[in-house]
Chains A and B, each alone.
Chain A
Amino acid sequence: MSWFSRLANVFRSDRLNHDLENEIRFHLDSRAAEFRRRGMTPAEAARAARRQLGNESLARETSRDVKLLPWLDSIVRDTRYGSRMLCKSPIVTATAILSLALAIGACTAAYSMIDALILRPLPVREPEGLVYLTYPSDRPGAPEGDSFNYPLFERLRDASREKVELFGVSWPRPRDVTLGNSTEKIRVQFVSGDALAILGVKPALGRLLNAEDDRYPGESPVAVVSYEFWMRKGGHPDILSQLLDYIEPSSTTRTKNTKRRLQIVGVVQRGFTGVEPGVKVDAWIPNMMFSLEAFTIADWEWLRILGRPKSHVTREQAQHLMQQTLLDYRHDHPRDFRKQINVRSAANGPSVIRKAFERPLWILAIVAGLVLLIAGSNVANLLVARSAAREREMALRLSIGAGSLRLVQQLLIESGLLAGMACLLGIGFAQAMGPAVVSRLLPTGESAYLDLGLNWRALGLLALIGTSATALVGLIPAFRSSSVSPGDVLRAGSNRHSTRRGLLRPLVAAQVAFSVTVLFTGGLLLLSFQKLSTLDLGFFRSGVVFFDLDDLGERGQPAALQLLDRVRQFPEVQAAAYSAWALLNDNRWISKVKIPDRTDSGQTYQLGVSPGFFDTMGIRLLEGRDFARHDLGPNASAVVVNEAFARSFFPGQSVVGKQFDRDRDLLEIVGMVRDAKYDEIRETPSPTIYVPLRGQGDAVLTVRAADAGRIAPLLRQEILRADPSVKVSRVTLQTTLIDNLLVRDRLLALLSGFFGMVALLLVAIGSYGVLSYSVVQRTREIGIRMALGARAFQVIRLVISEIAVTVTLGVVAGLAGGFVLGHYVTSLLFEVKPGHAATVVFPLLGLMLVCLFAALPPTLRASRLNPVVALRQE
């Protein structure tokens, strides 16, 4: 018989047993029949036959071992036995598996995100040879910038041609693209003609872009598309004959949108989705097809510069070269703010999402890892407690000759079963959690995409987690159980619980420590998020909705004001006004300000608004007046400033009536309003001036209405009915706008809060298990004490004091860990410091409450022990 049949026999050992037994029975019967023929009585004959055969079961066992793989057989048998044991206590098992699975799932999801966003190299030729250019921010502490203007890019590219192949790519831009008769929102990216070739991407169909496509503005209307886009469109080769239509929105208020029609000339290799992880690009277009101004205006910072140094050029040499070129460029363009250029590795692609989420993801991974440790030690706890309950079983098996290794194997298999099931379930959790989290990485309306497919690295990690979970969960109880001395245990009443406590204590302490760390970190993040979401922005956080109106200015001011009047008459509308754009919406206009008769000058944010804007937004007027219709005239010079402006340019004075120069216009302040956030939620108020919106280009109609979310679609229809020529390109709720700015904070707070809850729950389960077990172990001792007159509260103290010390130790260690991790989190926090009282007190209170609840049932059980019953049980 072959190896295979022996393997097969392991799994049909019932039949094998049956066959072996039948064969021997036949032998015995034949022998007995012969003995009967020789004159023995049937009973004698049967006995003699059996005697002659010798040890029947030994023969059977030996044959069994011949017929199958003994080690495998024992594993299979232990697995069957183990699953029976696990099914015996379904609640314990389910808790163990669920908690492990949750933690494993969280770890895997966090890891696969980290892998996709941070670790995985770009799918191009020799990704480690890629670099990109950055420059230090002029604000201290702010991340490096990597947007360049075209003139500087050209200068750098031409100067370094011999040593570095440089190419520029635009930020991926979402565009409505029409192919045939279907329109889809995809991201397009403008790239240097030779970008894809330098990256080393291959075409799957047709050709790539080349330098010829990128010579003169507007000359070469071609595009290559991604493999996925091609597949979405049917995957036919005739895509090469098709045209791609899209509208390039005007980038300034002065120019009109441009309709473009591009010829698809190729499909790039499968799996290439651009150079930025998380942002999937579907079409690449030559830079020269971008707006004309982009190539001449030095203020347009729209390119990232990537490159591949030639093989003999080190990164230092490249950096030196770039720096020289920059100095050269600054000589001609003294206004350029860059002072230094750095060459950074782009092996895994420059990424905005990574910049924002690298640290949060590591934090989540650490927190998930801690939760995994808690879950693991929790299961270990449960198993220790249970193996103690099974001590008699183990002792019995040892005393009838089971090898202690065999017992270890059996317990390991049991915990392996647990861990295995948890891993499987964990993969499911990870598959569900990962994409859900990724979809929240970018503001709503923009979809982030990360390839979270289970690759060998993720699976390897999972295997590692599974193995270590098994080891952690299984080994401790296993060695404990196998080292029992059968005699001691079987001798009833022997009291050896002290050694066992020695094992459980560190487990509980570690558990408490980990969960305090998790709770502490989660508390910091939650508190920070709570501060951010209740922060006074200087305007209403809700009840306001923005309608982006395209080309309002084309139609003249009177028509625009007429529409405004119509909107204000709608019954639901409380107030309405125009502004050039919504605050906090990633648009900024910065101008130079000079005060007449003074030498100092400064910068200020600007926003064009119509009369009624402050009332609509809820920006309180502190001094002077709001704009009026007559301020909208072409020669009016009225301006409203904020407090920060007044503080920095006219400290200690009343500002109304004061005048100042803005870009050579003399403006007169007619009012002062409260500070409102302009660019970022976390910013400190910056000088801001509001100027009358004279109606050029696009504008945002800002409407305040109760229940804005519900009536926004209705309002949109009413606006269109009121003025059918108006085009509403987008409707945004103020709440959505703010939510989008807090994506990262919400995500972190949500997940860390969730993990905190899981940690608390696990600690509750853990300490309940340990206390229950300790009460069971000490039943006899407690019984004696009570028989000798101990009061209930003394018993309670006895039980509680045991765990109290452990918990305290854990809390101290956990707080220390929390401060370490908290330090790492600090940069993500808003107005919260790791030392914050609430973040220390709440986790501790929560933990104590939970421990108290968990301790209640076993403690009560102990205090209600009937000494007579307790002692008789032994």
Chain B
Amino acid sequence: MNGSDSVQGALPLLVLKILSRRGPLHGYGITTRIEEISEEMLSVEEGSLYPALHCMEESGWVSAKWVITDNKRRARVYEITAAGRKQLKEIEGRWRAVTAAVGQVLQRA
């Protein structure tokens, strides 16, 4: 956690993006993917990952089912839904617009 930044605000965006690229994953898998890809720069506050996942499940962006993993354990696996992809597109667009705007400000200020 040390030295890495929290991604609270962008958590749904990251989760949806990862699920859309990498297929079904369980919560722990999502955490490790985010850390891996961001080369440990970003870390997920694990305590809030699950409420966020359940919230997205309630909203119908992801669906979840119990599966048996390779090491014979029951894990809850999340998969992005059509509504989730739509949502992803929307918030990704918004994120890009905001970061681009922030970038411009940083450049030109």
Find out whether the CB atom of B28 lies under 8 angstroms from the CB atom of A62.
no
Interface size on B, residues (CB 8 A): 21
Contact partner of A26 (CB less than 8 A), chosen from B1, B32, B45, B74, is B74
Find out whether the CB atom of A1 lies under 8 angstroms from the CB atom of B51.
no
Q: For B58, what are the chain A residues with a Cβ–Cβ distance below 8 Å?
A: 1, 6, 66-67
Find out whether the CB atom of A66 lies under 8 angstroms from the CB atom of B46.
no
Find out whether the CB atom of A63 lies under 8 angstroms from the CB atom of B54.
yes
Find out whether the CB atom of A23 lies under 8 angstroms from the CB atom of B76.
yes
Closest to A52 in B: B46
- Bound-complex Cα distance A265 to B58 (A): 67
Q: A-B pairs with CB below 8 Å: how many?
A: 60
- Bound-complex Cα distance A851 to B26 (A): 69
- Which of A27-35, A124-132, A709-717 is the interface stretch? A27-35
Q: Mark B46-61, 1 if CB is under 8 A from A, else 0.
A: 1110110011011010
- Bound-complex Cα distance A22 to B50 (A): 12
For chain A, which range describes its interface: under 10, 10 to 19, 20 to 34, or 35 or more residues?
Answer: 20 to 34
Q: For A19, what are the chain B residues with a Cβ–Cβ distance below 8 Å?
A: 76
- Which of A53-61, A303-311, A765-773 is the interface stretch? A53-61
Min CB gap A447→B, angstroms = 61
Contact A53/B51 with A19-B76, A23-B27, A26-B26 known, Cβ cut-off 8 Å:
no
Task: Check if A24 is an interface residue, CB within 8 A of chain B.
Answer: yes
Task: Check if B98 is an interface residue, CB within 8 A of chain A.
Answer: no
- Bound-complex Cα distance A56 to B50 (A): 10
Find out whether the CB atom of A22 lies under 8 angstroms from the CB atom of B74.
yes
Q: For A54, what are the chain B residues with a Cβ–Cβ distance below 8 Å?
A: 45-48
Find out whether the CB atom of B47 lies under 8 angstroms from the CB atom of A1.
no
Most buried by A among B47, B55, B75: B47
Min CB gap B54→A, angstroms = 4
Find out whether the CB atom of A53 lies under 8 angstroms from the CB atom of B46.
yes
Closest to A67 in B: B54
Find out whether the CB atom of B48 lies under 8 angstroms from the CB atom of A27.
no
Q: Mark A519-552, 1 if CB is under 8 A from B, else 0.
A: 0000000000000000000000000000000000
Contact partner of A59 (CB less than 8 A), chosen from B28, B32, B50, B57, is B50
Find out whether the CB atom of B51 lies under 8 angstroms from the CB atom of A66.
yes
Task: Check if B96 is an interface residue, CB within 8 A of chain A.
Answer: no
Find out whether the CB atom of B47 lies under 8 angstroms from the CB atom of A53.
yes
Task: Provide the main secondary structure of the chain A interface.
Answer: helix
- Bound-complex Cα distance A67 to B64 (A): 13
Closest to B76 in A: A23
Find out whether the CB atom of B76 lies under 8 angstroms from the CB atom of A59.
no
Task: Check if B73 is an interface residue, CB within 8 A of chain A.
Answer: yes
Q: For A20, what are the chain B residues with a Cβ–Cβ distance below 8 Å?
A: 50
Find out whether the CB atom of A58 lies under 8 angstroms from the CB atom of B47.
yes
- Bound-complex Cα distance A52 to B48 (A): 11
Min CB gap B4→A, angstroms = 12
Q: Mark A1-45, 1 if CB is under 8 A from B, else 0.
A: 100001000000000000110111011011100100000000000
Instruction: Mark out the residues of chain B between 76 and 108 whose CB falls within 8 Å of any chain A CB in the assembled complex.
Output: 76
Min CB gap A473→B, angstroms = 38
Find out whether the CB atom of B57 lies under 8 angstroms from the CB atom of A30.
no
Closest to A64 in B: B54
Min CB gap A34→B, angstroms = 8
Q: For B47, what are the chain A residues with a Cβ–Cβ distance below 8 Å?
A: 53-56, 58-59
Contact A62/B26 with A1-B60, A52-B1 known, Cβ cut-off 8 Å:
no
Q: Mark A809-824, 1 if CB is under 8 A from B, else 0.
A: 0000000000000000
Find out whether the CB atom of A24 lies under 8 angstroms from the CB atom of B50.
yes
Q: For A26, what are the chain B residues with a Cβ–Cβ distance below 8 Å?
A: 26-28, 73-76
Q: For B75, what are the chain A residues with a Cβ–Cβ distance below 8 Å?
A: 23, 26
Min CB gap A495→B, angstroms = 45
Find out whether the CB atom of B26 lies under 8 angstroms from the CB atom of A59.
no
Contact A63/B73 with A23-B27, A26-B26, A30-B28 known, Cβ cut-off 8 Å:
no
- Bound-complex Cα distance A25 to B8 (A): 22
Min CB gap A565→B, angstroms = 99
Closest to B69 in A: A26
Q: For B60, what are the chain A residues with a Cβ–Cβ distance below 8 Å?
A: 1
Closest to B51 in A: A62
Q: For B73, what are the chain A residues with a Cβ–Cβ distance below 8 Å?
A: 26, 29
Closest to B29 in A: A30
Most buried by A among B1, B26, B28: B28
Closest to A34 in B: B32
Q: For A30, what are the chain B residues with a Cβ–Cβ distance below 8 Å?
A: 28
Q: For A63, what are the chain B residues with a Cβ–Cβ distance below 8 Å?
A: 50-51, 54
Closest to A1 in B: B58
Find out whether the CB atom of B48 lies under 8 angstroms from the CB atom of A59.
yes
Q: For A23, what are the chain B residues with a Cβ–Cβ distance below 8 Å?
A: 27, 50, 75-76
Min CB gap A415→B, angstroms = 34
Q: Which 6 A-B pairs have the closest CB atoms?
A: A54-B47, A62-B51, A30-B28, A63-B54, A53-B46, A66-B54
Not counting A26-B76, A62-B48, a sample of 16 additional A-B residue pairs whose C-beta atoms are within 8 angstroms of each other reads A19-B76, A20-B50, A22-B74, A23-B27, A23-B76, A26-B28, A27-B27, A27-B31, A30-B28, A31-B31, A54-B46, A59-B48, A60-B50, A63-B51, A66-B51, A67-B54
25 inter-chain pairs at a CB distance below 8 angstroms, sorted by A residue, are A1-B57, A20-B50, A22-B76, A23-B50, A23-B75, A23-B76, A26-B26, A27-B28, A27-B31, A27-B46, A31-B31, A52-B1, A52-B46, A53-B46, A54-B48, A55-B47, A58-B47, A59-B47, A59-B48, A60-B50, A62-B48, A63-B50, A66-B51, A66-B58, A67-B58
